[in-house]
């Protein structure tokens, strides 16, 4: 397997865009990534698309060739990958493998989701399709209720961390203030979070990630090829791991340790030869506040049961010891599902290149992305290193 690097990134602003179609979002983010890479369309060997549910939300399937047509890529092979909220990272991993194996020298990988034109009920039902329709969603369980059960179990095992969860949301909102692509750019307080609209105890609306429209694209190239064309700091993909777990919460061995995260992280760290303490920044899946806290432990950044305290101690803030979600995360940057995993990579590459402007970290040489699908039934962890 040969070394692969990211040579181009592009994303749309995330938000509510009733005037923009799926094709419009694809065109903006895809063209930005291609332009950023310095390569021509004729050099792209394949297109890997990520999308969760455009069939449900807009009636549109077959997004691979649709995106290729919009972007003018001719007869390139395409496909769409879906793995719930981890779809973007799964498409990235397939693209990575295709270049690493020597199958293609340069590939484009993109993700898109358009959700805000649907009613809250329709979006909630569409999202619930990432759980088990017979055993969970069909009985009325939606993701806020499933992750609320996880939060309550976490309280039982490690103590009540309601305040720290709220602070996690506050921090991600603070981060998003400096990200021009973020959907929400407003400061919130711990009191606002705790007194927000109740969703599923202990969550209020401020513990939940956003419903968003948006797209994000990445161009990958064999590092040897990348060196010849890349005009910016080369960002090498040094590690990538993937693991799964049961879809149903009831079948999992633990509710407060995500086995898929643990396994995927172990693979990624092993491949990279890097320890958690060496990571300068991470984008960690935060569909709910408790999710970020649990994942930050399962990724090895903090000891089990200590993830909440780390938030309270400011370790996860932008200029803390282990900055998490300096983009604003799913919570404040937004969560257009198919685009999310690729937008995490967009942020890491931006920081590793030193292009973060107002939100640029002082030290950003090694970054990690972590993306889960459903109740952590799918997980991809990737590690990037600036060269």
Strand, coil or helix: what is 76? Answer: coil
Nearer to a copy of itself by C-beta: 83 or 202?
Answer: 83
Closest-CA residue to 164 (of 365, 327, 316)? 316
Cis peptide before 202 (omega within 30 of 0): yes
- Which residues does 332 contact at the CB level (< 8 Å), separation at least 6? 169, 172, 173, 175, 176, 182, 183, 184, 185, 210
Residue 112 binding a copy of itself, by CB under 8 A: no
Catalytic annotation present for 285: no
As measured in angstroms, the least distance from the Cβ of 249 to a copy of itself is: 12
Q: Cα separations (Å) of 282 from 101, 199, 351?
A: 27, 28, 10
In the stretch 280-309, what mask flags binding to a copy of itself with x, by CB under 8 A?
------------------------------
As measured in angstroms, the least distance from the Cβ of 190 to a copy of itself is: 33
Which residue out of 85, 208, 240, 287 is catalytically annotated?
Answer: 85
Place of tokens 């939940």: 208
As measured in angstroms, the least distance from the Cβ of 381 to a copy of itself is: 11
**Of residues 170-199, which lie at the interface with a copy of itself (CB under 8 A)?**
none
Strand partners, 4: 222, 237
Q: Which listed residue (100, 208, 225, 282) binds a copy of itself by CB under 8 A?
A: 100
Residue 59 binding a copy of itself, by CB under 8 A: yes
Closest-CA residue to 316 (of 330, 302, 303)? 302
Residue 81 binding a copy of itself, by CB under 8 A: yes
**Contacting range for a copy of itself; rule: CB under 8 A; set: 10-18, 121-129, 193-201, 306-314:** 121-129
Nearer to a copy of itself by C-beta: 29 or 95?
Answer: 95
CB-based contact 128:141 (threshold 8 Å): yes
Residue 260 binding a copy of itself, by CB under 8 A: yes
Residue 58 binding a copy of itself, by CB under 8 A: yes
Residue 247 binding a copy of itself, by CB under 8 A: yes
Catalytic annotation present for 335: yes
Q: Cα separations (Å) of 279 from 136, 146, 324, 336, 383?
A: 36, 30, 10, 26, 9
CB-based contact 339:112 (threshold 8 Å): yes
Beta strand 203-204 with 213-222 is: unpaired
**68 is written with which tokens?**
């290729």
Which residue out of 173, 175, 335, 370 is catalytically annotated?
Answer: 335
As measured in angstroms, the least distance from the Cβ of 169 to a copy of itself is: 26
Q: Which listed residue (10, 15, 83, 329) binds a copy of itself by CB under 8 A?
A: 83
Residue 55 binding a copy of itself, by CB under 8 A: yes
Place of tokens 């990272």: 89
Residue 244 binding a copy of itself, by CB under 8 A: yes
Residue 106 binding a copy of itself, by CB under 8 A: no
Continuous H helices in 235-372: 259-272, 289-298, 307-312, 329-332, 337-352
Nearer to a copy of itself by C-beta: 76 or 281?
Answer: 76
Residue 351 binding a copy of itself, by CB under 8 A: no
Q: Cα separations (Å) of 83 from 158, 230, 295, 372?
A: 30, 31, 18, 9
CB-based contact 169:331 (threshold 8 Å): yes
Residue 255 binding a copy of itself, by CB under 8 A: no
In the stretch 15-54, what mask flags binding to a copy of itself with x, by CB under 8 A?
------x-x-----------------------x----xx-
- What is the size of the binding site for a copy of itself (CB under 8 A)? 64
Strand partners, 242: 380
> How many residues appear in the chain?
387
Residue 62 binding a copy of itself, by CB under 8 A: yes
Residue 102 binding a copy of itself, by CB under 8 A: yes
CB-based contact 375:146 (threshold 8 Å): yes
Cα–Cα distance measured from residue 198 to residue 206, given in angstroms and rounded to the nearest whole number: 9
Nearer to a copy of itself by C-beta: 98 or 235?
Answer: 98
Catalytic residue set: 85, 335
- Interface contacts to a copy of itself, rule CB under 8 A: 1, 21, 23, 47, 52-53, 55-56, 58-66, 68-69, 73-84, 90, 94, 97-98, 100-103, 125-126, 128-134, 137, 242-248, 251, 259-260, 263, 373-374, 377-378
């Amino acid at each position: 397997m040969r070394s692969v690097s990211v040579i181009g990134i592009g994303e749309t602003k995330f938000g509510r865009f009733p005037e923009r179609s799926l094709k419009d979002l694809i065109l903006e983010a895809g063209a930005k990534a291609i332009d950023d890479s310095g390569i021509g369309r004729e050099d792209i060997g394949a297109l890997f698309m990520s999308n969760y549910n455009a069939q449900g939300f807009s009636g549109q399937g077959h997004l691979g060739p649709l995106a290729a047509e919009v972007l003018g890529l001719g007869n390139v092979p395409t496909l769409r990958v879906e793995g719930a909220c981890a779809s973007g990272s799964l498409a990235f991993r397939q693209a990575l493998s295709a270049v690493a194996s020597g199958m293609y020298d340069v590939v484009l990988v993109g993700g898109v989701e358009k959700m805000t034109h649907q009613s809250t009920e329709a979006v909630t039902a569409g999202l619930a399709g990432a759980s088990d329709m017979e055993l969970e969603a069909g009985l009325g369980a939606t993701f806020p209720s499933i992750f609320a059960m996880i939060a309550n179990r976490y309280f039982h095992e490690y103590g009540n961390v309601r305040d720290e969860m709220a602070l996690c949301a506050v921090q991600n909102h603070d981060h998003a203030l400096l990200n021009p692509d973020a959907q929400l750019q407003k400061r919130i307080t711990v009191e606002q979070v705790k007194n927000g609209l109740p969703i599923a105890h202990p969550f209020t609306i401020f513990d939940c990630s956003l419903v968003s429209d948006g797209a994000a694209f990445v161009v990958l190239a064999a590092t040897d090829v990348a060196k010849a064309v890349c005009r910016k700091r080369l960002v090498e993909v040094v590690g990538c791991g993937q693991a799964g777990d049961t879809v149903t919460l009831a079948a999992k061995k633990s509710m407060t340790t995500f086995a898929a995260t643990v396994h995927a992280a172990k693979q990624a760290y092993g491949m990279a030869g890097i320890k958690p303490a060496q990571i300068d920044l991470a984008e960690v899946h935060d569909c709910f506040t408790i999710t970020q806290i649990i994942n930050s432990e399962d990724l090895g950044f903090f000891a089990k049961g200590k993830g909440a305290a780390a938030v309270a101690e400011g370790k996860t803030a932008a200029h803390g010891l282990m900055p998490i979600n300096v983009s604003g995360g799913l919570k404040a940057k937004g969560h257009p599902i198919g685009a999310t995993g690729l937008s995490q990579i967009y942020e890491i590459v931006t920081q590793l290149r030193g292009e973060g402007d107002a939100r640029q970290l002082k030290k950003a040489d090694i970054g990690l992305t972590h993306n889960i699908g459903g109740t952590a039934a799918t997980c991809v962890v990737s590690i990037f290193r600036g060269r």
